[in-house]
Homo-oligomer: A and B are copies of this chain.
Amino acid sequence: MNTQTPTLDFSHLHNPTFLRACMRQATDYTPVWLMRQAGRYLPEYCATRARAGSFMGLATNRDFATEVTLQPLERYPLDAAILFSDILTVPDAMGLELSFAQGEGPRFAHPVRDEAAVAKLEVPDMDKLRYVFDAVSSIRSALTQADGRGKVPLIGFSGSPWTLACYMVEGKGSDDYRMVKTMLYSRPDLMHRMLTVNADAVAAYLNAQIDAGAQAVMIFDSWGGVLADGAFQTFSLAYTKRVLRQLKRHGTDGRVVPRIVFTKGGGLWLKDMAPLDCDVLGLDWTVNLGAARALVGGSENTSGKALQGNIDPNVLFAPPAQIDAEVARVLHSFGTPYQGSGSGPTHIFNLGHGISQYTPPEHVAALVQSVHQHSRALRKAN
C-alpha cells in the first residue's frame, strides 16, 4: 500500500460512512457521533458505573469499558464508536495519580508545579496503560458482526500535550489556568520540557491504541483555546505537530487510520492548523462551518481537512422540533458535502463539546435522526 495515496478500502465495515468522510470521500449522508456519547446522560451507563464503583474502576476494566462504549450504539444509529476512557490516563501512568471524586471533575494527587517535579517526568511505560489497549481490542471484537465485518469504526483518543499540562500543573480543572500560565510565562523552559515529554507519551499511547485496533484517533486540545495568540502556536500547536509526526499512518491491518485534531476555542487559529498532518479538524459551536470550509476544507481533489462538529450541546435541551431546526442550520452552514468519486470537502456531524450529563436521552435520538434525514435531503437537493 502506497502511504502517499493509500487504497481506501472500507469493505471491512458495515458502516464506513465516518471513515469515508474523514478521508474526504463522498457519503450518502453525513455521519454523526457525539463527544462523550457514552456518559452519564444514559441511565444504563450510570448503572454500569455503579457496579464498577468509581469512574476509574469503570475506565480501567476492559469489560466495563467495552460495555459502556457500546451502550449508545445500541440506542442510536451512530456512525462511530469512541473508546470509553479519559483524556488524563497518560499523566496518571506518569505517576500523578488520577481520581474522580463523586460529583467533581478529575484530580491529580501529585500535580507538577516546580522544576524538580518537571525534571522527574518521563514517557511512561505503556504497560501501565495496558488496560486501555485491552479495552480497544475488546471493543473491536464486540463490534465485529457474524460475517466478520465491523459494525462501525472505533475511535481512539488522547488529550493534547498542552491540555494534559493544564491538568498536570493545576491538579484539577481551573477557571483561570493561573498556575499553568504562571509556569508558561515565568519558566517557559520547564513548560517546553513538560510538553515534549507529554507529546512523546501521547504519540506512544495513540500508536499503541492503533496497534490494538483503533481505526481513527482524535487529539483533544480541550484547553488550547485558553491560550493567548502566539502562545497557542508555541505551546499547544507545536506539540500537537510533534505528536502527529510520530503517529503510525496505518493499523496492523494496513488500513489508513485518520487523525482528528479538536481545539476547543481554536476557531481563530484555523489557518495555523491548515498545515497540520491530520485529516479532520474538530470545531466548536462558535465557528461558522461555511467560513471554516472556505478556509481549510479544500476543494475537489485538492488537499484540505474534513470538518467535524459543531452544534451547541445545549441545543439538546430544547424540544425535538427546535433540535431539528438547529441540526438543519448546522448542516446548511457547511453546505452540500462533496459528492464526486475523488476527494473533496466533507462534514462529520458532532457536538461542539461533550454532551451534558443532563441531556434527555430521547433528544439524542431526535438529533441523530435529524442529521441523517436532513443530510440525505441536502444531497438530493443539489
Instruction: List residues of chain B with CB within 8 A of the CB of A356.
Output: 176, 178
Stretch at the interface among A29-37, A227-235, A339-347: A227-235
Instruction: List residues of chain B with CB within 8 A of the CB of A358.
Output: 178
Stretch at the interface among A59-67, A82-90, A280-288: A280-288
A111 at the interface (CB under 8 A from B): no
A288 near B182: Cβ-Cβ < 8 Å = no
Instruction: List residues of chain B with CB within 8 A of the CB of A182.
Output: 314, 317-318
A322 at the interface (CB under 8 A from B): yes
A185 near B286: Cβ-Cβ < 8 Å = no
B287 near A229: Cβ-Cβ < 8 Å = yes
Whether A286 touches B227, Cβ cut-off 8 Å, given contacts A178-B314, A178-B358, A314-B176, is: yes
In angstroms, Cα B231 to Cα A240, docked, is 31
Q: Mark A160-201, 1 if CB is under 8 A from B, else 0.
A: 000000000000000011100110111000000000000000
Count of chain copies:
2
A312 at the interface (CB under 8 A from B): yes
A329 at the interface (CB under 8 A from B): yes
Task: Output the nearest chain B residue to A323 by Cβ-Cβ distance.
Answer: B185
A251 at the interface (CB under 8 A from B): no
A124 at the interface (CB under 8 A from B): no
A319 at the interface (CB under 8 A from B): yes
Q: Mark A260-273, 1 if CB is under 8 A from B, else 0.
A: 00000101100000
**A178 is contacted by which of B177, B288, B310, B317 (Cβ under 8 Å)?**
B317
Q: Mark A284-311, 1 if CB is under 8 A from B, else 0.
A: 0111100000000000000000000011
Instruction: List residues of chain B with CB within 8 A of the CB of A178.
Output: 314, 317, 356, 358
A39 at the interface (CB under 8 A from B): no
B329 near A286: Cβ-Cβ < 8 Å = no
Task: Output the nearest chain B residue to A267 by Cβ-Cβ distance.
Answer: B268
Least Cβ–Cβ distance between A186 and chain B, in angstroms: 4
Q: Mark A334-373, 1 if CB is under 8 A from B, else 0.
A: 0000000000000000001000101000000000000000
Instruction: List residues of chain B with CB within 8 A of the CB of A134.
Output: none
A13 at the interface (CB under 8 A from B): no
A–B Cβ pairs within 8 angstroms, 23 of them? A178-B317, A181-B312, A181-B317, A182-B318, A185-B315, A185-B322, A185-B326, A186-B317, A186-B318, A186-B319, A186-B322, A227-B286, A228-B285, A228-B286, A228-B310, A228-B312, A229-B285, A230-B329, A230-B333, A265-B265, A267-B268, A268-B268, A268-B287
Top 3 A-B pairs ranked by shortest CB distance? A181-B314, A185-B318, A228-B285
